[in-house]
Amino acid sequence: MAYTFNPFTGNLDFFQALTNPLQFMGGITVAADFPTSALVQNGWVYRILANVTDNNPAKTNTGQSFLNKDEIAWNGTNWTVLGNESAYVPYTGAVGNVNIGIYTLTGANFISSVAIGTSPYACTSTTLNTNLNADLLDGQHAAAFLTAVPYSVSDKTNNYPVVNTDLGSGTTFTMNNGATKTFTLPTSANIAGHLGAPITFVKKGAGRVTIQANTGQVIRDSSTAGTIYNDQATETYASITLIAITTTQWIVQGFDGTWTTS
């Protein structure tokens, strides 16, 4: 242990010499400003004043590149970046733009105080941002956009009453039977929320396929609570698409084969 006499107290004070203490040696603007390999000592600290690469053969010549405002220290082999002045973000009271370069700024919240009329956020990357939850898309809520229809095919072999959940789901019904079978359309009360939604029926078998309107409804020019049907045994894969334009009126959007109203 090392001691030295303290003339103020008259005591011997313990002291320990620091090995390679940090020592500020000045600024570096160009490669020629780096110290030579023969002179540089551990702990020498420099402030980078402009983007520069240590590639002068007469100097330390480590090949390392540094950014303006980096603070570097010699570690005995090459330079260690201690930090960068521009990478520090003030808690409050910034007097200019703050650029943290390639580093990440992490925190609990991002709160913008910019007035309406100025975008509070700008992004260069087009990569998907997982878990980013926004209330509006181009100023619109979700209700302003069409919902994707989950199209499906439902195969039937017996009479089937179409229910309101079948409407608006893009369902195509098929009937594969050699006998007469009937699809019954939903009641007017159940149609109300699905006006304009198409529903398709396909005749796959030789049997007659009948589509029965519900109470108070007509299909194209049928009678009230009438039907539209295909009874042609050879017309397998005949099809018809209906759309409810009111709670009591179904129209034919398109068809293939021979369909007759009654």
Q: Are residues 102 and 7 in the same domain?
A: yes
pLDDT, greater one: 19 or 219:
219
CA angle 246, 250, 251 (to 5 degrees): 115
83, 115, 145 - which closes a domain: 145
pLDDT-derived band at 5 (thresholds 50, 70, 90) equals: low
Residues 95 and 205 in one domain: no
DSSP string over 200-260: EEEE-SSS-EEEE--TT-EETTPPTT-EEEE--TT-TTEEEEEEESSSSEEEEEEEES--E
Question: Is the predicted pLDDT of residue 148 greater than 70, yes or no?
Answer: no
The first and second tokens of residue 68, run together, are 């303006």
13 and 131 in one domain? yes
| pLDDT bracket for residue 13 (50, 70, 90) | low
Average pLDDT in the 96-120 region?
Answer: 82
Range of the domain at 104: 1-145
Average pLDDT, the chain: 88
* 2 lies in the same domain as 102: yes
Q: What is the pLDDT of residue 157?
A: 95
Judgement on whether residues 112 and 198 belong to the same structural domain of the protein: no
Report the distance separating Cα 11 and Cα 261, nearest Å.
Answer: 119
What is the tens place of the pLDDT at every residue in 23-79?
999 999 999 999 999 999 999 999 999 999 999 999 999 999 999 999 999 999 999
Local structure of 11: helix, strand or coil: strand
pLDDT at 218: 96
Rounded CA separation 38/27 (Å): 19
- Show the tokens assigned to 224: 């009230």
- Please report, for the domain that includes residue 177, its CATH number: 2.60.120
Helix or strand holding residue 190 (H, E):
helix 188-191
Q: Are residues 62 and 184 in the same domain?
A: no
Which of 36-40, 84-88, 136-140 has the least mean pLDDT?
Answer: 84-88
pLDDT per position as a tens digit, 163-173 = 888 887 778 99
104 & 189 share domain: no
| Burial class of residue 226 (count of CB atoms within 10 Å of its CB; 0-12, 13-18, 19+) | middle
Q: Which pLDDT band holds residue 88 (cuts at 50, 70, 90)?
A: low
pLDDT at residue 83 tops 90:
no
Domain end: 92, 118, 145, which one? 145
Structure tokens at 21: 């203490």
Domain end position, chosen among 80, 111, 145:
145
- The answer to whether residues 89 and 180 belong to one domain is no
- Provide the domain count of the chain: 2
Q: Is residue 18's pLDDT more than 60?
A: no
Q: Give the separation between CA 255 and CA 243, rounded to whole angstroms.
A: 12
Q: Where residue 262 falls among pLDDT bands split at 50, 70, 90?
A: very high
